[in-house]
């Protein structure tokens, strides 16, 4: 609760901030026989349903989705339907939903609609599409809030065509960053200093730590300065684009936060928590927490059998037993000698992984002994003729055959090791 200058008491505005849904990620999945959808796509849709449930049960006034609804810029209609169902569910509950356009949402060709523009075209109530940089005033159940939207920076939106001609990519990137900074400055100046203000953006901020989003990146990335986002009267910065949840402004105000992606996309995110941010938005006094979700586990099992004379398969089976693989996406990495590889029972390992949701791979790293075929420690000390003789011996040639080859080589090869560099 806080006291306003007018003497009225107002509650903080309750905001749910999430991002980087990426519906359509199908790696490590298989077709579900009931729905006909990829099992991994169902995981991402399940997380979105949990977001809608959390917004309803927690009494959210505002849901801010900070970009990247789908994996691709042209999602199939089924994925669009599933996304729309949950957006409409929240909007029908009286929650204002902000949909920011991310790099995976923008069309390849300029002037075409983004994958979320349909909500604006149909005039869906309580849904605001942030397709351009702008300042929006929204009335919520607990009072007004200002929202500054800064979608994925596009040169054609922020830089005049004449300024684009003849410049290098680096120069254009610098122009784009400057244009974003100036646009944010202008919008912040236009905002009412007495109204709680939230900025939502989809881009890379200087000092952030990347996750696996580099593996699925669409479009050329630019980096925005942290200082551009922390000016008055901004009370919270809701970011998307980077999959690793992180807070960038430390204990300083305002909070500048990447909520992170809702699901893990590969083993690079194996140890990352996934979830959403719950924000109590107030002028000068915003508080927030990160709320993890129970997402699909990724499990890597490493087993090294090279140091044992026992059954190499048993070494791997014991390593599997030490991990919780139930409903997980699992990969196994096994280190074996060449001799152990001959005795390795892959079927037993596959059977031991039966409780996993999906086995991504069982890879074998074969460690081969390094030995000199010439039988000497320092072959560089031998003359070329001695090296050739040693090689011929290692090939099991008989004495007559070796003598014939050496006779042909004599006079061709150098006589001492110094000239054999």
Task: Provide DSSP, 46-81.
Answer: HHHHHHHHHHHHTT-SEEEE-S--BSSSS--HHHHH
CATH of domain 11-292: 3.60.21.10
**pLDDT for the residue 415:** 63
**pLDDT for the residue 255:** 98
More confident residue, 58 or 407: 58
Cα–Cα distance for residue pair 344/325, rounded to 1 Å: 21
Q: Of 298, 295, 269, 329, nearest to 51 (Cα)?
A: 295
**pLDDT for the residue 181:** 96
Residue 390 has pLDDT above 80, yes or no: no
Mean pLDDT of the chain: 87
Q: Of 23, 6, 93, 100, nearest to 58 (Cα)?
A: 93
Residue 14 has pLDDT above 90, yes or no: yes
**pLDDT for the residue 420:** 41
Mean pLDDT of all residues in 75-89: 94
More confident residue, 300 or 10: 300
Mean pLDDT of all residues in 120-138: 91
Helix (H, G, I), strand (E, B) or coil at 114: coil
Looking up tokens 């986002």, which residue turns up?
229
Looking up tokens 């009412």, which residue turns up?
192
Query: Are residues 67 and 19 in contact, defined by beta-carbon separation less than 8 angstroms?
Result: yes
pLDDT (tens digit per residue) in 220-273 = 688 999 999 999 999 999 999 999 999 999 999 999 999 999 999 999 999 999
Residue boundaries of the structural domains of the chain: 11-292, 298-367, 379-419
pLDDT (tens digit per residue) in 163-201 = 555 677 788 888 899 999 999 999 999 999 999 999 999
Confidence of residue 110 (pLDDT cuts 50, 70, 90): low
**pLDDT for the residue 105:** 85
Q: What percent of the chain has pLDDT over 70?
A: 86
**pLDDT for the residue 387:** 79
Mean pLDDT of all residues in 101-123: 79
Cα–Cα distance for residue pair 34/48, rounded to 1 Å: 19
* pTM over 0.85, yes/no: no
Mean pLDDT of all residues in 138-159: 86
* Angle of helix 384-394 versus helix 399-409 axis, rounded to 10: 150
pLDDT (tens digit per residue) in 278-319 = 999 999 999 999 999 999 999 999 999 998 888 999 999 999
**pLDDT for the residue 213:** 56
Q: What percent of the chain has pLDDT over 90?
A: 67
Q: Of 277, 280, 256, 199, nearest to 233 (Cα)?
A: 199
**pLDDT for the residue 419:** 46
Query: Are residues 412 and 383 in contact, defined by beta-carbon separation less than 8 angstroms?
Result: no
- What number of H helices and E strands is found in the chain? 11, 19
**pLDDT for the residue 421:** 41
Cα–Cα distance for residue pair 211/308, rounded to 1 Å: 36
Using CA atoms, how far residue 298 sits from 43, 245, 316, 321, in Å, is: 13, 17, 18, 16
**pLDDT for the residue 5:** 38
Stretch among 159-163, 301-305, 353-357, 378-382 having the lowest mean pLDDT: 159-163
């Amino acid at each position: 609760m806080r006291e306003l200058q007018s003497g009225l008491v107002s509650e903080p505005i309750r905001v749910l901030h999430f991002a980087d849904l990426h519906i359509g990620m199908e790696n490590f999945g298989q077709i579900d026989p009931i729905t006909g959808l990829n099992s991994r796509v169902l995981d991402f849709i399940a997380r979105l349903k949990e977001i809608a449930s959390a917004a309803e049960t927690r009494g959210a006034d505002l849901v801010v989705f900070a970009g990247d609804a789908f994996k691709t810029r042209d999602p199939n209609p089924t994925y669009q339907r599933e996304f729309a169902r949950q957006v409409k569910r929240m909007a029908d509950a009286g929650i204002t939903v902000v949909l920011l356009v991310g790099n995976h949402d923008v069309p390849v060709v300029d002037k075409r609609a983004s994958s979320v523009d349909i909500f604006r075209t149909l005039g869906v109530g309580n849904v605001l599409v942030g397709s351009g940089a702008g300042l929006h005033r929204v009335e919520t159940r607990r009072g007004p809030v200002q929202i500054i939207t800064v979608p994925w920076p596009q040169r054609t939106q922020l830089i005049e065509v004449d300024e684009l001609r003849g410049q290098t990519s680096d120069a254009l990137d610098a122009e784009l960053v400057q244009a974003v900074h100036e646009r944010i400055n202008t919008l912040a100046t236009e905002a009412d200093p007495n109204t709680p203000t939230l900025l939502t953006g989809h881009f890379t901020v200087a000092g952030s730590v990347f996750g696996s989003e580099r593996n699925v990146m669409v479009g050329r990335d630019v980096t925005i300065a942290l200082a551009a986002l922390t000016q008055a009267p901004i009370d919270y910065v809701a970011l998307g684009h980077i999959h690793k949840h992180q807070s960038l402004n430390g204990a300083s105000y305002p909070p500048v936060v990447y909520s992170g992606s809702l699901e893990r996309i590969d083993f690079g995110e194996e140890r990352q928590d996934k979830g959403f941010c719950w924000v109590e938005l107030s002028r000068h006094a915003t508080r927030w927490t990160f709320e993890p979700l129970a997402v699909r586990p990724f499990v890597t099992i490493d087993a090294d059998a090279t140091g044992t004379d026992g059954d190499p398969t048993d070494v791997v089976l014991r390593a599997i037993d030490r991990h919780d693989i139930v409903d997980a996406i699992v990969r196994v990495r096994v280190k074996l000698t060449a001799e152990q590889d001959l005795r390795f029972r892959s079927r037993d390992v596959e059977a031991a992984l039966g409780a996993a949701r999906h086995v991504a791979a069982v890879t074998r790293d074969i460690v081969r002994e390094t030995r000199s075929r010439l039988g000497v420690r320092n072959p560089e000390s031998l003359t070329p003729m001695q090296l050739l003789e040693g090689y011929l011996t290692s090939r099991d040639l008989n004495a007559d055959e070796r003598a014939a080859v050496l006779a042909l080589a004599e006079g061709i090869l150098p006589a001492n090791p110094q000239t054999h560099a």
